[in-house]
Structure 1
């Protein structure tokens, strides 16, 4: 089984919210883009909650998210997985990202959002203790997954569940280039 390598963090120095997935799916890894599967509702949810136009080209969507103070990353840097389902990740192969090492580059980071229960479970297992040791007040919010595997949750319901993100957003403005 092949070892999958995740993406680098998409953050800026003004990042207030970091959305963590578990590990990019096959479609995302192939495209080299976060949330690239056509049925993943992440970008439509970001449009509903953050005002980021889901039809923009990928680089512009990332820039717009960063302009609102939102960054993207995953809990796992590497793992072995057959297919795209989180349930297929081999636990003994899990290697977490260096989130503690990222914290100094994101001094305004105030909220970690886990996109789905798998991301929340992996965050708790691999990162939470080290992150809280460095940033005791850093909050974590687990929200329903935008993945097509979470088909029981409609786009409208996801947009409602993700509404708490709004209180953490920066007003629309220029992006400060980060990592």
Structure 2
């Protein structure tokens, strides 16, 4: 392993598969599972990541106090599938320094086509600039070649490293972008943010 600025490069494999089923309608893409997520075997498990509070704000039924993401793999998986949400990352393996998206290199991309073909996914939302860049470099040409048509709606990163926006600003940006593409969301549910 080479080191740069006292940070070690590490080759990482994603370690767990996508979350979706045949009823999934919208796919949220990260980049590569963080160390905390790989350890837990599930998406966005770093306690400071704002992904699950964002999903709750966008999709939870405000009239149902039990419709929450919770904090466990099981409750979050159930929430996503109940709301027809799929989650995956465009990277199957790569070299990375810690959890820094900007350090990612030597990418082996994930296959997203099977998910889309075996579900109702019509919108793909890369979360963050790096996710969007990777999707367009690796997966978009395959989608075009295979005549797979979906709307691409880039969303802001939910990483704690993306601190220039408040949680409410991220929610508002996502609502605006998803609403403009016909993907309705529930009224904001922000008490846990």
State the TM-score, normalized to the length of structure 1: 0.86
Match of 2:134, SS state, is helix
Instruction: Give 1:32 deviation, angstroms.
Output: 1.6
- Structure 2 unmatched runs, 5+: 2-9, 61-66, 187-193
Choose 1 or 2 for highest CA Rg.
2
Greater Cα offset, 134-143 or 19-28: 134-143
C-alpha deviation, 1:162, in angstroms = 1.4
Residue among 89, 92, 97 paired with 1:77: 92
Give the 4+ runs in structure 1 shifted more than 6 A: none
CA apart distance, 1:56: 4.6
Q: Does 2:37 match 1:28?
A: yes
Cα shift readout 1:134-175 (whole Å, capped 9, x = no counterpart)? 34431101111000110111100011111144643699xxxx
Gaps (5+ residues) in structure 1?
172-179
- Contact preservation (8 Å) 1:69, 1:169: no
- For the residue of structure 2 that corresponds to 1:94, the secondary structure is strand
Decide whether the 8 Å contact of 1:18 with 1:73 is kept in 2: yes
Q: Which has the higher contact order (CA 8 A, sep 6+)?
A: 1
Q: Quick check: 1:122 aligned with 2:134?
A: yes
Looking at structure 2, the residues matched to 60 and 165 of structure 1 have their Cα atoms a distance apart, in angstroms, of 24
Equivalent residue, structure 2, for 1:4: 12
Q: Which residue of 1 aligns with 2:109?
A: 96
Structure having the higher helix fraction is 1
Offset from partner CA, 1:74-111 (integer Å, 9 cap, x none): 00011111100101112xx10011112333211x1100
The alignment covers a number of residue pairs equal to 168
TM-score (norm 2): 0.80
Report the secondary structure of 2:161's partner residue. coil
